[in-house]
Structure 1
Amino acid sequence: MSTVLISGSSVAGTALAYWLREQGLTPVVVERAPALRRGGQTVDVRGAGLQVVRRMGLEADVKALANHSSGMSMLDAAGNEVFRSEEFALSAGALDSEDVEILREDLVDLMHARNEGIEYLYGDSITAVREEADGVAVEFEHAAPRRFDLVVGADGLHSNTRRLVFGPESAYINHLGTYLGVFSEENYLGMDRWQTWFNDGANGGVVMTVRDNAELRIFLGFASEPIEYDHRDTAAQKRLVAERVTGFGWEVPGFLERMADAEDFYFDSMAQINMDAWSHGRVVLLGDAAHCAAPTSGQGTSLALTGAYVLAYELGRTEDHALAFARYESRMRPFVEANQALAFIDRRTVDPEESTRRLDAVKSLIDLDEVVD
């Protein structure tokens, strides 16, 4: 029975662990955080991603925790409403579609509950990977060295696995000109299943209700060329946001004040990862580590879920890992490239019906039934 080390326990890594065990393989998950990561944004589960959730037997649970919105409004920098819709939301598309918007942490929790008995190494990370004739020797920051048959990097945009095996991040990242911070708050505004967006043409954000109106998720973003900053220094990241998101009226000054005390603050750039190949020897990349589409695509979660399903089934079909990796990439790459293109649609200016049509066209580009034929 093959052993597979998965680096990262977010959507891609958690889903892959489930499907690998379904294929008779033995997954082991290493995660830098001391436990499952909390906080973060709402994510969309669409098309093939929703099919994967359905095949995990989680569709009803996911829909029970879905975030429902009655609509959205757009404000200018002074706080004046310039647009309103009760049919469409920038974060989720058409409100009457079958797509599901859910908090990332809720989706991961549901999948993780299906992984009972799978070994997790929390509070640790890979420090060295050395491929051998019939396996991979892996060294960790804390745990003793171990040997695995395969290694999967599912560790996100700033993948440690990708850096160790494929080279520096700078060779693959395409910065899209925006940085975004997100944190949670109690619903002190009394908003009712609503999203309020605000922008001055370059900077801005959105506040939306989650968890049946009990909480808010507040997003604050700004346009910028690439910035050098410490990805682990949350205080410095908050200062960046406070320095850049200025001159707004309405409730935005209060958001900045509350951000200072937020314990679940998350910050990163809007960026894509573009690679000529997602595997090298016995190491393969999955999800954002391989092909981050950027949150503006709205498809990162569905790509992670679909990629995990396809990779696991290809590994289950053959003992030739190189063939499995090649089939996985061949099936996924057209789907990935089409989804990455969605990130460049400015949904503030494109007609909502046109935006939905483009998204629906992309959803049909991969057929999961073909994977298991």
Structure 2
Amino acid sequence: MSTPSVLISGASIAGPALASWLARAGWDVTVVERFDELRDEGQNIDVRGTGREVLRRMGLEEAVRAAHTHETGLDFVDERGRPVARFAAGTDDTSGGTAELEILRGRLGQILYDHSSAEAAYVFGDQITALHDDGHGVDVEFRHGPARRFDAVVLAEGLRSRTRAMVLGDARVHELGVYSAYLTIPRTEADNDRWRWLICDRGRAVTLRPDDVGTIRAGLNVLSSVRGLDRLDRTGVVTVLRATFADVGWETPRILDALDDAPLYFEALGQARLPRWSSGRIALLGDAAHCASPMSGMSTTLALTGAYVLAGELVQHADPHTAFARYEATMRPFVEKAQQLRPGIPRMVYPHTRRQRSLVWAGLRTATSPLANRFGDVAGAVFSPPADAFRLPDRPLAARREG
């Protein structure tokens, strides 16, 4: 039997995780990434439930834990920085607004890359320009490198994957109407190890979160009916942010002052709700297939879980069509549950008026009251996503494929 080959497009989370599993199982794995190097930017992400179990099976849980941001909980604050409601970090694999295990996206990506790069070939600074599936293999054209043929191709790209349209022309993003700007700014004496969240009026919110490298990860978020702001250049984005948050107090002026020089990423939040995740010998993975959005707290867990499931099916089945169909049938119920945001989200956390905000604050205070928690973990019920609502298949991924 010849060694099966796979091309994975995308070197963030899902791509390197899949590369690691398939390379371990004896596949010839190539990962192509359009950026020239791994991107070390990115905000805090949490790894919960089945995603944590995948890391355990990879032998990476302790490496990820060593890169923990050490965020100790979530505080909703007012314009003076005074806590309105305080929530402790989770104490198990799943619970809490702040997960028991938080890590910067770039740090997790580096760990997964290091785990896979000895056996999988990485090509940086290139991207797919054409895919030709003849039923027996896929001929792939690249922007810079020579064309190559693979037994299967997996697009482990982002929510707004440009390559996905070559496979699923009918793919559409479900927009959530929220724009988020992420910045890395200097840490000051006013900062601590809490995730601090100011809910404003007019659909705005400001956040500060600790990291493990001596800086602070800031967020400016706004609910808006205007579409296309994420297509502006940096100058346009900075202009919009300064105009939108000019009257907001607390630490907001400090964040706005950093806009000219700080690393900045700006995105429109959405979900990938696709009718299918594959076509022929080409499949989608991670956010390109089933992004649940940062508001779900589930995208990283879905990426790791999906990589594990897809690798298992490819190892067990010689026909990629069968493997892809089984992967989707297994994962889709979990994805659909993850994409069901809490009632009222996002509008509840992005109120339009100060009266609406007062109602939100009242609800948060109630959730943390001793009386409410006599009847159970109210905060856990509010903030804990369904990360454990899936049982990982228990199969040896190093085994030979059937057929």
Sort the Cα spacing of 1:244 and 1:167 in 2 relative to 1 into closer, same or farther, 3 A: farther
Aligned counterparts of 2:250 and 2:84: Cα–Cα separation in 1: 15
Residue of structure 1 in register with 2:305 after alignment: 306
Residue of structure 2 in register with 1:153 after alignment: 155
Residue of structure 2 in register with 1:245 after alignment: 245
State the Cα distance separating 1:150 from its structure 2 match.
0.9
Residue of structure 1 in register with 2:325 after alignment: 326
Q: Compare CA radii of gyration and give the structure with the larger one.
A: 2
Aligned counterparts of 1:29 and 1:334: Cα–Cα separation in 2: 28
Aligned counterparts of 1:266 and 1:240: Cα–Cα separation in 2: 14
Can you give the 5+ residue segments of structure 2 that lack an aligned partner in the other structure? 350-359, 369-376, 398-403
Instruction: Please say if 1:295 is aligned against 2:325.
Output: no
State the Cα distance separating 1:204 from its structure 2 match.
1.5
Alignment of 1:329-368 (within 5 A): 329-342=328-341, 345=345, 346=348, 349=363, 351=367, 353-354=377-378, 356-357=380-381, 362-368=386-392
Alignment of 1:177-216 (within 5 A): 177-201=177-201, 202-211=203-212, 214-216=214-216
State the Cα distance separating 1:355 from its structure 2 match.
5.4
**Deviations 1:328-360, CA, capped at 9 Å, x for gaps:** 011100110111113655576574734523776
State the Cα distance separating 1:259 from its structure 2 match.
1.8
State the Cα distance separating 1:73 from its structure 2 match.
2.8
Sort the Cα spacing of 1:93 and 1:217 in 2 relative to 1 into closer, same or farther, 3 A: farther
Sort the Cα spacing of 1:75 and 1:158 in 2 relative to 1 into closer, same or farther, 3 A: same
State the Cα distance separating 1:14 from its structure 2 match.
1.0
Residue of structure 2 in register with 1:19 after alignment: 21
Residue of structure 2 in register with 1:53 after alignment: 55
State the Cα distance separating 1:122 from its structure 2 match.
0.9
Aligned counterparts of 1:74 and 1:67: Cα–Cα separation in 2: 19
Sort the Cα spacing of 1:361 and 1:31 in 2 relative to 1 into closer, same or farther, 3 A: closer
Residue of structure 2 in register with 1:102 after alignment: 103
State the Cα distance separating 1:56 from its structure 2 match.
1.0
Sort the Cα spacing of 1:100 and 1:23 in 2 relative to 1 into closer, same or farther, 3 A: same
State the Cα distance separating 1:26 from its structure 2 match.
1.6
State the Cα distance separating 1:79 from its structure 2 match.
3.2
Aligned counterparts of 1:198 and 1:192: Cα–Cα separation in 2: 15
Q: Give the total of aligned pairs.
A: 365
Percent identity between the two aligned chains: 37
Aligned counterparts of 1:247 and 1:216: Cα–Cα separation in 2: 22
Residue of structure 2 in register with 1:40 after alignment: 42
Secondary structure of the corresponding residue to residue 368 of structure 1: coil
Sort the Cα spacing of 1:245 and 1:62 in 2 relative to 1 into closer, same or farther, 3 A: same
Aligned counterparts of 1:300 and 1:359: Cα–Cα separation in 2: 15
State the Cα distance separating 1:93 from its structure 2 match.
5.5
Sort the Cα spacing of 1:101 and 1:325 in 2 relative to 1 into closer, same or farther, 3 A: same
Aligned counterparts of 2:264 and 2:276: Cα–Cα separation in 1: 33
Aligned counterparts of 2:189 and 2:142: Cα–Cα separation in 1: 45
Q: TM-score, with normalisation over the residues of structure 1?
A: 0.90
Aligned counterparts of 2:74 and 2:380: Cα–Cα separation in 1: 16
Aligned counterparts of 2:161 and 2:37: Cα–Cα separation in 1: 18
Q: Is contact 2:96–2:379 with CA below 8 Å preserved after alignment?
A: no
Sort the Cα spacing of 1:266 and 1:320 in 2 relative to 1 into closer, same or farther, 3 A: same
Superposition RMSD in Å? 2.4
Sort the Cα spacing of 1:162 and 1:299 in 2 relative to 1 into closer, same or farther, 3 A: same
State the Cα distance separating 1:257 from its structure 2 match.
1.3
Q: Is contact 1:180–1:269 with CA below 8 Å preserved after alignment?
A: yes
Residue of structure 2 in register with 1:260 after alignment: 260
Report which stretch shifted further, 333-342 or 302-311: 333-342
**Deviations 1:285-342, CA, capped at 9 Å, x for gaps:** 0010011101000110000000000000100001011111111011100110111113
Residue of structure 1 in register with 2:279 after alignment: 280
Aligned counterparts of 2:135 and 2:177: Cα–Cα separation in 1: 43
Q: Is contact 1:178–1:223 with CA below 8 Å preserved after alignment?
A: yes
Secondary structure of the corresponding residue to residue 365 of structure 1: coil
State the Cα distance separating 1:143 from its structure 2 match.
1.1
The amino acid across from 1:166 in the alignment is L
Sort the Cα spacing of 1:280 and 1:24 in 2 relative to 1 into closer, same or farther, 3 A: same
Instruction: Please say if 1:64 is aligned against 2:50.
Output: no
The amino acid across from 1:356 in the alignment is G
Q: TM-score, with normalisation over the residues of structure 2?
A: 0.84
